[in-house]
Structure 1
């Protein structure tokens, strides 16, 4: 996948998915439903066969982070898939794509002894702090720190739950206060009612719960 260094567009159309296989997306009419998009973003907890279908059907760049339920996938040919195919894992990294500055943080609040994709609040602080050198470099080179932060879990107190596995991360609040990304896309918290709040403004950041999928127009002004 070629990551360009072109100027940021004023609008990007994105398919964001998380946590649930959606029959409308995992079907023969996906291209008609989704239309033209610039990239795919997965916020985790999705089977790799589902992501593989989306990526191969839409043939656009794909970025992802892992959720706490992600596991290696045993395939019919007896191979084992440890990561989704055809994509870029954004965890602890910063990427420049088509003028857009992206970063990601995987996983949920730790609730058992599984070592994969679960973190304490302190551990997530360390992961978030590891992004800072790259964000400062972005500011020097591009005039801004970050455009889109892709996470599995929501920030603490925003779209999160009260049970231990679904508590949001405080470090995400700090990243938004300090570095002002335009968007934070997350999953993890399932939505069962149209009355549930799934989009919230925090300082300069629009926080969006993408469960189970959202087709988004990400709009940007000049830096």
Structure 2
């Protein structure tokens, strides 16, 4: 499997494309969060599978993890990580719940987290499909009941040469001027990264040709 070489410029372009997708996702989330929402990509890294598993496992004891797989021309997933504090605040804001008990999650609260993940992943995928002219869709989100490593195995085992490209996304929503940050991880396998790079390189050639023919 060839090691993808990503130039600094290509990294910036991928980041920018994702930021456009995330801006749309933030608008969709703001409707249910009833306040300002900001989503942006502060960091992109190529990491080993075992490091990805370690990174996610670190959150497992303290966060509810919601996973949405990205299918079609691209292969990847989004993971949204909700702490007790996030769940309490989202339940109060979106479900008008009062005196939310921490550590105990009702069916309604789990549905809300699934819905948030669905909205964010759906809006992101739609934008990426438009910009990159690709056929991709998000599968319905799930809250893995077993270890997240097991749940991610589907993606990792199908693609043993998978070196994930991981984007840490900063999700901030403001409610009554209190800022809440939700960790969101977005990752694609190596093949997807190569496809995205091909598309970006074609864009650059087309743009160059257009400018030369003017």
TM-score by length of 2: 0.29
Q: Flag the structure with larger Rg.
A: 2
Structure with greater proportional helix content: 2
TM-score by length of 1: 0.28
Larger relative contact order, structure 1 or 2 (CA cutoff 8 Å, min sep 6): 2
